[in-house]
Amino acid sequence: MKPTKPALDVRALKMDFGGLRALDNIDLQIYHGEIVALIGPNGAGKTTFFNCITGMYEPTGGDMIINPVEREPVRINRLKPNVVTEHGLARTFQNIRLFHKMTVLENVMVARHCRTKAGIAGAIFRDPKTRKEEKEMVDFSYGLLDKVGLGQFVNELASELPYGAQRRLEIARAMATEPFLLLLDEPAAGMNPKETNELDRLIMRLRNEENISILLIEHDMKLVMSISDRIYVLDYGKMIAQGTPSEISEDPKVIKAYLGETFDA
Amino acid sequence: MAAKWRPLIDKITGEFTKSLLVSAWFMFLTFPLMVIKVRPLERTIEWRWMNLVYIGVGAFFLSFIWRYLMSRKDGGGSEEEGESWQKKAGLRIRTDKKIYLPGLAAVVAFIVIFPFIFSGYQTQIMISALMYVMLGLGLNIVVGLAGLLDLGYVAFYAVGAYCYALLNHHFGVPFWIALPLCGALAALFGILLGFPVLRLRGDYLAIVTLGFGEIIRLILENWNEFSFGPSGIAGISRPDFFGMELSLREHTIYLYFIIVMLVLFTILVVSRLRNSRIGRAWIALREDEVACQAMGIDKTKTKLTAFALGATWAGLVGCIFAAKTTFINPASFTFMESAIILSIVVLGGMGSIVGVMIGAFILILLPEYLRAFSEYRMLAFGAAMVLIMVFRPQGIISGIRQRYEFHRAGQPEGTR
Ligand SMILES: Nc1ncnc2c1ncn2[C@@H]1O[C@H](COP(=O)(O)OP(=O)(O)OP(=O)(O)O)[C@@H](O)[C@H]1O
Ligand SMILES: [Mg+2]
């Protein structure tokens, strides 16, 4: 089932903040079509890992290589965040970072920026080509919002949405950049069990229908265990385990790192 | 029964004592200034106790009213209501043809006959107000849409003015050819300023742009061979009208219509930019720089286009300014100018076109007509600014985002 080349191939990744080694020799592979979870106690370095692969931090060492479908491999070290996104990696944020004073639809339309072309002249003269592009952008964005169940909110300001809906909007916005790998940073944080359930189904659906791979950071073990194909466990910047959900839930090292927290797979 | 009123009574007595304290404090502060009057020649001291009473009573009532308004504001509810009322009214005005068309016709008629029914002086004032509308709308791109606090906007205004003045002085370049050149040169300067400040945000950006504005002014002041220094450039041609000789009055009217057309052009361009791919990128940049980049927007390019396009309008207005006054010198391009333009944007409402226009009219026309109050003019002006910022921090009119109507699922239709 697994093609030879992973969608994302991270080797010996290191990230230092002054004297603090936040990531120490991290290896991680995600294959096309996989849902992979990255778990670990607070402060383990999960968000730092995301920031490294999305170009927001420049890693101290290691290699990060992507293999998009039917395209040449790209080494994404030292690329700017927007270029990484253009290459097909899109993320959401642990602390929701929507464009609050824009409407829900516009939030998604902004993410279409890197897949569209209209320039200043197009904006001013509104030539047929620009109008067509704009219309396609609106259609595409609306379609995505409908898919994540936000169809009725298009004209609301993003800040007026309920919390769970804001999280889903972040996912829709990331999807609008047409990624082949979607990175979700604690998408279920702050959601109630019903919302988490819906999120579970949404993530599965995205993977199945959109042909993407998903890497998610999550503290909700029930969600992690039910949807991931594989799990990586990070503790104090070190990768302490990886494997299928059942392997991970029995791994003594993981149980030790999570001492006090219970698994219910 | 009594228990029900208890909190309210407590509150009022609380406010009462606080206001009393405020008034006592004011009486104390102003005592040496307002009460004691020393006549050094006669060697007498006059005690004007009545002044103390006036100040005490005045401060007490003002403080009481202030507290009442503040408590109403913090009580919430009312503001939300005001906001949705504004939204509804805005939508109604824009969609209901019965209100919209006659209103528009009246405005157009008024604009057209204005210079013919009012004096040349009034028309001149209107021209400068309209110039500030354009400046405000231009700065609105940088500050209101892209969220880049630019305190040196006047630099581009100066670039435009000197561009026309020098071209006209040395080569006799006419207004209509110089106008686009001024815009283009200012855009170039916008990019030149943009590059070094790309990494800066907020306060730091404000300081650097402030410095840039001052640098341009100082260069103009000191580089005599180039800009004729503080004595400036005189005898700049007025806009030519198909080579015809115009009287001063006719020139004023002509210039009035030029600026009206340019303002309309500006409104069209800015409103289209605002709801375009580029405009949305600007707003996203303002809202959250990190998320904006993560969504694939090139921060560098987006910032530079904002600086360049914002500067273009300043350059155009600069050209008009030079043509209007026929004389320019660096004294017209001080920081005060940048501050006024920024106030227009902030007061009117960042990102809102109508708001900026209202802001420009208030800030430019009001001081003009308040001349009667001469020395209290700036005081009243400042007080008005403070009041608006306290009670409507988002500006007089807040920016409204475009709505899209979707009739059936998957069949969206944008409403323009
Ligand atoms: N920009 C930074 N500068 C300095 N230290 C940082 C920076 N970003 C993260 N760190 C440190 O790196 C470590 C890992 O933080 P990170 O945010 O990646 O944890 P996390 O696994 O996402 O935790 P959580 O589950 O709480 O989100 C922490 O000790 C944090 O203080
Ligand atoms: Mg985190």
Is B255 domain-assigned? yes
Say yes or no: B377 and B321 in one domain.
Answer: yes
Say yes or no: B55 and B138 in one domain.
Answer: no
Which ligand is the nearest neighbour of the Cα of A43? 1
Q: Which domain holds residue B127?
A: 106-391
Q: Are B132 and B139 in contact (CB under 8 A)?
A: no
**Range scoring the smallest mean pLDDT among B51-65, B78-92, B367-381, B392-406:** B78-92
Model pLDDT for residues B124-183, shown as the tens digit of each residue: 889 999 999 999 999 999 998 998 999 999 999 999 999 999 999 999 889 999 999 999
The tokens describing A99, both together, are 């464009």
Say yes or no: B54 and B127 in one domain.
Answer: no
Is B200 domain-assigned? yes
Mean pLDDT (whole number) for A174-187: 94
Q: How many CB atoms lie within 10 A of CB B285?
A: 23
Please count the CA atoms within 13 angstroms of the CA of A10 that sit on its side-chain side: 22
Is B47 domain-assigned? yes
Alpha-carbon gap, residue A247 to A235, rounded angstroms? 17
Strands A74-75 and A181-185, bridge-based pairing? unpaired
Alpha-carbon gap, residue B9 to B14, rounded angstroms? 8
3-state DSSP call for residue B395? coil
Say yes or no: B346 and B239 in one domain.
Answer: yes
Q: In chain A, which residues have their Cβ closer than 8 Å to the Cβ of B410?
A: 139, 142-143, 146
Burial class (CB in 10 A: 0-12, 13-18, 19+), B237: middle
Q: Where are the alpha helices (DSSP H) in A87-192?
A: 104-111, 120-125, 128-147, 163-175
- The C-alpha of B281 sits at a distance from chain A's nearest C-alpha, in angstroms, of 6
Say yes or no: B16 and B147 in one domain.
Answer: no
Model pLDDT for residues B177-202, shown as the tens digit of each residue: 999 999 999 999 999 988 888 888 77
Mean pLDDT (whole number) for B113-129: 86
pLDDT at B416: 40
Say yes or no: B49 and B119 in one domain.
Answer: no
Strands A213-217 and A181-185, bridge-based pairing? parallel
Report whether pLDDT(B384) > 70: yes
Is B184 domain-assigned? yes
Q: Of the candidates B279, B287, B299, which has its C-beta nearest A99's C-beta?
A: B287
Q: Of the candidates A93, A114, A143, which has its C-beta nearest B296's C-beta?
A: A114
Band of residue A92 on the pLDDT scale cut at 50, 70, 90: very high
Contacts of B126 by beta carbon, 8 Å cutoff, 6+ apart? B114, B115, B118, B256
Mean pLDDT (whole number) for B52-80: 75
Domain count, chain B: 2
Q: In chain B, which residues have their Cβ closer than 8 Å to the Cβ of A173?
A: 295
pLDDT at B411: 47
pLDDT at B415: 44
Minimal CA–CA distance to B351: which of B136, B162, B160?
B136
Report whether pLDDT(B78) > 70: no
The ipTM of this complex is: 0.91
Mean pLDDT (whole number) for B84-99: 67
Query: Chain-wide mean pLDDT for chain B?
Result: 84
Model pLDDT for residues A19-36, shown as the tens digit of each residue: 899 999 999 999 999 999
Residues 105-164 of A with CB under 8 A from B: 105-106, 109-116, 118-120, 122-124, 126, 130, 133-135, 137-139, 142-143, 146, 151, 154-155, 157
**Range scoring the smallest mean pLDDT among B44-58, B256-270, B280-294:** B44-58
CA of residue A157 relative to chain centroid, distance: 23
CB contact under 8 A, B294 and A82: yes
Q: In chain A, which residues have their Cβ closer than 8 Å to the Cβ of B309?
A: 120
Say yes or no: B58 and B118 in one domain.
Answer: no
pLDDT at B197: 85
Phi first, then psi: give them for residue B100, nearest 5 degrees.
-70, -50
Residues 266-305 of B with CB under 8 A from A: 269, 272-273, 276-281, 283-284, 287-288, 290-299, 305
Report whether pLDDT(A261) > 70: no
Is B56 domain-assigned? yes
In chain B, the percentage of residues whose pLDDT exceeds 90 is 35
pLDDT at B95: 67
Band of residue B82 on the pLDDT scale cut at 50, 70, 90: low
